[in-house]
Structure 1
């Protein structure tokens, strides 16, 4: 009889298959606080409505914690690692130790732990999604749950599957904007592997193209939108909803340069009014920007702006070697006695950038200076609990939807006031009145688009959006980083320990000693892990590795 275990890993050669986590119910506690339940047979897992709910909860738990080299989890894929790895591939945060050196300096190989664990944990999550989809489909047919309830669970699983596949193509593939997705993609596996007899049918799933993957991602999200509830009530924004599916579609279509599609999807979330401010979902008012830019982080468990977050808790998190507050936090600071590890600092070149205007409250509310003698750097202050690592990982916020649609409008029409209004809705809650934009602030269409892109770097600093923006803009002659590739980066040896690099008055520029790599460099994308290469006869390696 097939069994389903918490954190049980079956290695089937071509990818690690992590079977469903089933957790006990304990009053109204969140799933991250629950205790492991003994193993159930797969038949039992989908035999009652209560067990099906536990199975779905187990999938979210896998999205949160994952494993690291087969051992304790470090927040792979979405509890922390996707944010940390994406930031380290960009230039707006600086690696100060050896912890992220291989990612930061693009020294990844086909056996490096970071990319191998991202691949294996994403496919483990995908496999669990597939098992749930198969299980609830059968349960609906048997009358165990209604068709609508079964479709809701399938919608949640498809949302998570789409999120995982989009992360895979961002990390391991050339972007969609290079040849409309003609480059090799990743294998889109949709069959749940829960025993060795199914492995054979899945071992040779080919890569296909990036365009193939995007088509299937959007199909999953269309299904999720059609079958998920508008809001998740008690579950808050840590369970997939209709709004989350739409918001992810807005993001995916932006990566495709489908600006009309971005505008159409965004309109479902209240972004199509002729004038601002844009503060709610058109039909139901589920989402609105918090009044202060720190709202989604001070009240990460209960705010109006978060659309989908991954729930971390004291019993389920990335741990000291993975949790966001530990990785991004300072070892000593004036505001919080609970300290991080000094591993990643905000780049002084972002902190001092001319587009991050004087008086922007995101410097005072969402950045924090280290107080250690001789190392007074500024750190991200969105994640504030290094002691128990309960900060939720922000995956999609309403601010992103607004800026995604703003960019789409700005690229579609010259000096579109709708783009300006959406930009201002996010920006004006943080900047002084004297620094707020009017349409006269921009000489041309590209200037408005650039302002929106600059705003993304400030607003989403430390949230893992920088590398996705770099890669989706790689083919754009106006907005790509130098060479369209991996940007030049500051090395820790160039940081002034006194903290004088971070000076928003004089705005000095720190030399980026790690030279940029052009788009044509093979290091631009990660290699397929060697385990997959060894086992999958249909798999081709990314060139250069």
Structure 2
């Protein structure tokens, strides 16, 4: 039985004060009770978000534990390890880093299975809400925002699958194989055929379904939740719109990106950007969204974690990204090739305040310092920030020839961090390149590098042409001394060309064994 298809969607958690931001999983409600009361329905939504951040991990030994799939620390780290801006130091994600994955390797298999488990939970919620309304358990007015949350999560999860298991939209205008876009919940009381009958479709057809889900979610979701923390940790109207700017950027739909961005205030002409929906604006200090992760004006959607509910020492984002000198695990370091890049200025606050130079132990390198709840492991996983919306729209304006607005959006993100006098007073000679470089700095440690590598792979001017060449840990022989602002290492692990089958991950054996529909739709050469 493939977990990806058949896992029950009713995983529920309870909380002493009914706030997901302080979740403490105590029990699983029975499927038949999940939609029997308004309280249980709210718990069902909490369970969906809990699974997004904690999930489980099956290493193939029969042991199962929370490990930060599909949108916890594991997801964020994999997004970095598929790129070149961080260096894998240990065996934890070496398979992902070196591209040695197979149909049974745990990192990619668990990602697939957990994303579809999450999708199934979202689908069960949509179905259950309809039944609850029909039975008079809740009104449609109460059900609608819940449905919007489920649709948002469903779209987010399907897109994550697309960037790992399918070719980018730019390849033949989305005509390659997509991923099964599942919209019907499979529970213990329904037939497996509900999920097994869905084939991969095309990338283009999947993107159309993504936008359909998000368009509907936008109409159903509120501008904000009941408090600041819930407005970040649960989906809102602004989150649906922000995700659409990302989706349309992957499609190369620049007018569409601009139109969605306008809803969030990116068309302001005074260089000061604030969204009427959600009240989003950049924090003056780039550190604030990570220190005040439960209440800030910049975070649009994050996956919450708590002391009692996180991916554990092996999967919480804090321990995975942090150095041993700060009670972390020394798993991944910032690559000196990014840290020393000429476009990352020495006085940039993201370098001085969000990077950590470890001078103790055996791995004296530079590490990401966005997640600082050391030993507590309750840092939230940032999924959508207003900074991304601004840079998404800046890129779209640049491609549409509106240099002034593109520069204004870029400067809004960049100028709060760079030293005084280093601001762009006019557009750099290659504005698009400057925007791409800014993304690498602004989002390092947030798992977004692979997303950009994937969508730009076929861009002859700005793309990498495949999986970039990477620095091996053995090359960091100089320790901290190589983070000198000038050293650029020649990566000893070569690039993997876009044409190579390893650019995309294989569908796992667990799916192939249980799903006759997908057996003939495996990615080539796996």
Per the normalisation by structure 2, the TM-score is: 0.96
Is 2:434 the counterpart of 1:451?
Answer: yes
CA distance in 2, matches of 1:515, 1:303: 41
| Aligned partner (choices 425, 429, 433) of residue 420 of structure 2 | 433
Q: Find the counterpart in structure 1 of residue 191 from structure 2.
A: 198
CA distance in 2, matches of 1:121, 1:169: 14
| Residues 13, 50 of structure 2: 8 Å contact kept | no
CA distance in 2, matches of 1:316, 1:395: 18
| CA deviation vs aligned residue, 1:96-121 (integer Å, no higher than 9, x gap) | 11111100000000100001000000
Which 4+ runs in 1 deviate beyond 4 A?
Answer: 11-14
| Aligned partner (choices 323, 338, 347) of residue 350 of structure 1 | 338
How many residues are aligned here? Answer: 518
CA distance in 1, matches of 2:306, 2:166: 32
Q: Find the counterpart in structure 2 of residue 335 from structure 1.
A: none
| Aligned partner (choices 484, 488, 494) of residue 515 of structure 1 | 494
| Residues 79, 318 of structure 1: 8 Å contact kept | yes
| CA deviation vs aligned residue, 1:210-259 (integer Å, no higher than 9, x gap) | 11111111111001100000011322310000000000000000000000
CA distance in 2, matches of 1:157, 1:211: 22
| Residues 46, 135 of structure 1: 8 Å contact kept | yes
CA distance in 2, matches of 1:12, 1:360: 47
| Residues 223, 278 of structure 2: 8 Å contact kept | no
- Please provide the CA RMSD for this pair: 1.5
CA distance in 2, matches of 1:436, 1:359: 12
**Mapping for residues 321-400 of structure 1, pairs under 5 Å:** 321-332=314-325, 338-373=326-361, 375-400=363-388
| CA deviation vs aligned residue, 1:339-387 (integer Å, no higher than 9, x gap) | 1011100000000000001211111110001121553200000011231
| Aligned partner (choices 13, 20, 27) of residue 17 of structure 2 | 27
Cα displacement (A) at 1:143: 2.2
**Helix, strand or coil at the partner of 1:243:** helix
| Residues 130, 192 of structure 1: 8 Å contact kept | yes
CA distance in 2, matches of 1:229, 1:188: 25
**Helix, strand or coil at the partner of 2:367:** strand
- The change in CA–CA distance for 1:497 and 1:319 in structure 2 (over 3 A counts) is farther
| CA deviation vs aligned residue, 1:79-107 (integer Å, no higher than 9, x gap) | 21221101000000000111111000000
Cα displacement (A) at 1:314: 1.0
| Residues 231, 286 of structure 1: 8 Å contact kept | no
Q: Find the counterpart in structure 1 of residue 167 from structure 2.
A: 174
Q: Find the counterpart in structure 2 of residue 239 from structure 1.
A: 234
- The change in CA–CA distance for 1:124 and 1:437 in structure 2 (over 3 A counts) is same
CA distance in 2, matches of 1:222, 1:317: 31
- The change in CA–CA distance for 1:151 and 1:14 in structure 2 (over 3 A counts) is closer
Cα displacement (A) at 1:31: 5.2
| Aligned partner (choices 19, 32, 49) of residue 60 of structure 1 | 49
Per the normalisation by structure 1, the TM-score is: 0.92
Is 2:461 the counterpart of 1:468?
Answer: no
CA distance in 2, matches of 1:433, 1:344: 31
| Aligned partner (choices 260, 265, 271) of residue 270 of structure 1 | 265
CA distance in 2, matches of 1:343, 1:156: 33
| CA deviation vs aligned residue, 1:377-414 (integer Å, no higher than 9, x gap) | 00000011231210000000000000000000011106
Unaligned runs of 5+ in 2: none
Q: Find the counterpart in structure 2 of residue 288 from structure 1.
A: 281
CA distance in 1, matches of 2:450, 2:42: 35
